[in-house]
Copies of this chain bind each other. A is one copy, B any other.
Amino acid sequence: MRQSNWAREVAVVGVGMSKFGAFPEQSSRDLFVEAFLELRDIIDKDFELDQIDAFYLGNFSSDQFEKQAHLAPILANWVGLSPIPAVRVEGACASGGIAIRQGALAIAAGLADVVLVGGVEKMTDLEIAEVTEALATAADTLYEIPAGFTFPGFYAAMASAYMTEFGADQKAFHQVCIKNHQNGALNPKAQYNQTIAQIMAAKKARAVQKGKPSPEWENEGSFLSDPRANPSIAWPLSLFDCSPVTDGSAVLLLTESKKAKQFTDHPLYLVGSGQASDGALNERKTLFNIPAAVTAAKHAYAMAGLKPEQIDLAEVHDCFTIAEIMASEDLGFFDRGEGWKAALDGKTRRDGPRPINTSGGLKAKGHPVGASGIGQVVELWKQLRGEAGERQVEGDPQIGLAHNVGGTGQTCVVNILERRN
């Protein structure tokens, strides 16, 4: 399986992102325009629309969410890019990561020198039961869905397997949630830019206001352990283990590496990229990890000539808290079965040795499915260029990794980006 001899190198020269959240007045088109306009502002140097050779869009299912398929040429037209080739790619929640790869491949192939990559999902127009049904189409309808699961259930099964195998505690999941909300609280684009402590304080205040006895949570851990505050969704996962339903869009501008400095003095280089596929959960030998992530990471590291310990920070696909812990092992940051302890020990905090999801992750930043994988790279852009403001990690990070999973792990994409100056 040949995966890594790309004919030309690719750079990221600009990013843009809409606010993530629930926006009843905004369609996919509006969100995409918001992200695109930010990209135009962010590009350091002169750039004209007609420099863009192709457009790749990651979108899970505007078919179902907005009754609008064929979205790529529509969005390209919406920002004035017709008649360039416009391609939508879909790999469930990994659609954004795939779009980055396909955009990069178009450059590597010689088709294009400059490619716009975008991701968008407009999820909140439907009733929540309809959203759950639409998301369920990302699972295997022949094996997984008839087993009676929706997505929290699938990841609960993985969490349960993980706990059984490694003796992990739900408190580790809570720590992932607390950390990601701490990061999201410092991200003005995040859907939930509040810490769990702030959410807890607000809940206490509301109780007092209503004349009810104030709940006696001592800290964020006791808040998340209390089923009145954090009800069980699918054991062992509770409400605060789940990423939200989100509207949002994110975009990147990619160029052939040698042209990058025409657009910015500080490009990021796509030094590694890997993608892998897998069957449904019933096909897997183990449930306590995502095998496709291991394979995708292997290819990305091989292409980059890097080892896990050389990654300065990572944005990983924490659709559920357990998914972040599994990812931290699948990516080789911690040994198998050690990820939950690392989370408990704070090793993945912004100020820890292995920062993960400094953006707030899918959990706090939000999870507009087709945009999530691209939003991850927006965060790497900010962190690696030292532009992440209050949530900036220290130590002059140079290499970041984005890990994007689709379905129950039928798709995984890993992209590694490097700043060189």
Contacts A69-B61, A112-B2 hold; do A90 and B90 have CB atoms under 8 A apart? Answer: yes
Does A310 touch B at the CB level, under 8 Å?
A: no
* Beta-carbon contact of A277 and B91 below 8 Å: no
Q: What is the CA–CA distance of A295 and B68 in the complex, to the nearest angstrom?
A: 25
Report A's interface with B, CB cutoff 8 A: 1-8, 27, 29, 50, 53, 55, 60-61, 63-64, 66-70, 72-74, 76-77, 81-92, 98, 101-102, 105-113, 134, 136-142, 275-280, 283, 291-292, 295, 406-407, 410-411
Closest 10 CB pairs of A and B: A108-B109, A73-B277, A85-B275, A7-B7, A73-B410, A77-B279, A109-B109, A86-B277, A70-B92, A69-B137
Q: What is the CA–CA distance of A90 and B56 in the complex, to the nearest angstrom?
A: 11
* Beta-carbon contact of B53 and A1 below 8 Å: yes
Q: Write the chain B residue with the least CB distance to A279.
A: B77
Q: What is the CA–CA distance of A73 and B406 in the complex, to the nearest angstrom?
A: 10
Some 17 contacts from A to B, beta carbons below 8 A apart, are A2-B112, A3-B112, A5-B110, A63-B137, A68-B137, A70-B137, A74-B280, A76-B277, A77-B279, A77-B410, A81-B277, A83-B295, A87-B102, A87-B275, A88-B91, A102-B102, A102-B105
Contacts A85-B277, A86-B277, A89-B88 hold; do A3 and B111 have CB atoms under 8 A apart? Answer: yes
User: Closest approach, in angstroms, between the C-beta of A260 and any C-beta of chain B?
Assistant: 16
Chain B residues with CB under 8 A of A134: 63
User: Closest approach, in angstroms, between the C-beta of A277 and any C-beta of chain B?
Assistant: 4
Chain B residues with CB under 8 A of A406: 70, 73
Q: What is the CA–CA distance of A406 and B73 in the complex, to the nearest angstrom?
A: 10
Chain B residues with CB under 8 A of A275: 85, 87
User: Closest approach, in angstroms, between the C-beta of A95 and any C-beta of chain B?
Assistant: 9
* Beta-carbon contact of B2 and A82 below 8 Å: no
Q: What is the CA–CA distance of A222 and B75 in the complex, to the nearest angstrom?
A: 45
Q: Write the chain B residue with the least CB distance to A69.
A: B137
Q: Write the chain B residue with the least CB distance to A76.
A: B277
User: Closest approach, in angstroms, between the C-beta of A184 and any C-beta of chain B?
Assistant: 27
Chain B residues with CB under 8 A of A81: 277
Most B CB contacts (10 A, CB to CB) among A29, A60, A111, A141 go to: A111
Chain B residues with CB under 8 A of A92: 69-70
Q: Write the chain B residue with the least CB distance to A88.
A: B90
Q: What is the CA–CA distance of A139 and B279 in the complex, to the nearest angstrom?
A: 33
Chain B residues with CB under 8 A of A138: 69-70
Q: What is the CA–CA distance of A282 and B260 in the complex, to the nearest angstrom?
A: 37
* Beta-carbon contact of A87 and B84 below 8 Å: no
* Beta-carbon contact of B110 and A73 below 8 Å: no
Chain B residues with CB under 8 A of A279: 73-74, 77, 82
Q: Write the chain B residue with the least CB distance to A90.
A: B88
Q: What is the CA–CA distance of A68 and B138 in the complex, to the nearest angstrom?
A: 7
Choose among B27, B70, B136 the residue that contacts A411 (Cβ–Cβ < 8 A): B70
Q: Write the chain B residue with the least CB distance to A105.
A: B109
Contacts A82-B278, A102-B102, A137-B69 hold; do A109 and B7 have CB atoms under 8 A apart? Answer: yes
Chain B residues with CB under 8 A of A278: 73, 77, 82-83
Contacts A53-B3, A92-B70 hold; do A283 and B77 have CB atoms under 8 A apart? Answer: yes
Q: What is the CA–CA distance of A141 and B69 in the complex, to the nearest angstrom?
A: 9
Q: Write the chain B residue with the least CB distance to A77.
A: B279
* Beta-carbon contact of A276 and B7 below 8 Å: no
Chain B residues with CB under 8 A of A7: 7-8, 108-110
Chain B residues with CB under 8 A of A140: 68, 74
Given A7-B7, A69-B90: 4 more A-B contacts, CB < 8 Å: A7-B8, A70-B138, A74-B140, A109-B109
* Beta-carbon contact of A277 and B84 below 8 Å: yes
